[in-house]
Amino acid sequence: MSKRISKMLFSTEKVELGNMTALKGAISILKGAESNADKVATDFEQSISKAGKSYNEVVKYRNIIYNFAYREVEGILKTFASNAKELGVKPDSISEYKEAVKLQKTAFEVIKVLDDYKAPQST
């Protein structure tokens, strides 16, 4: 075999080996990227699921506050005010009545804040 042919074969082997090293490196990087992407996607999905559960809890307590503040407390305040007036007493002169009115207003504000929350959604 001539030196020229031998040199060409050796060069070809070198090129092939160089390409093989690059291919193996690419394979390693791609496997790592895929593994990391799977982990990140799984973490994201778990976070969305957890956020969804938390959001459902917010909605649940928002509804409890809403029902109590608008239905129960409203009726209690009206009944108390009516009874107080029948007795010739101004409802606003009773500290508990004023406190209940104040807390009901706070409940209305809390409801508004909670109503602004949006359900988390994955993309």
What's the whole-number mean pLDDT along residues 72-90? 95
> Does pLDDT of 72 surpass 90?
yes
> Does pLDDT of 23 surpass 90?
no
Q: Are 69 and 79 in contact (CB under 8 A)?
A: no
Concatenate the DSSP letters of all residues of 21-37 into one string.
Answer: HHHHHHHHHHHHHHHHH
What's the whole-number mean pLDDT along residues 35-55? 90
Backbone angles phi, psi at 14, to 5 degrees: -60, -45
pLDDT of res. 32: 87
Angle in degrees, CA 79, 70, 90, rounded to 5: 35
pLDDT tens readout for residues 96-110: 999 999 999 999 999
Q: CB-based contacts of 113: which residues, under 8 Å, 6+ apart?
A: none
What's the whole-number mean pLDDT along residues 63-89? 95
pLDDT tens readout for residues 50-66: 999 999 999 999 999 99
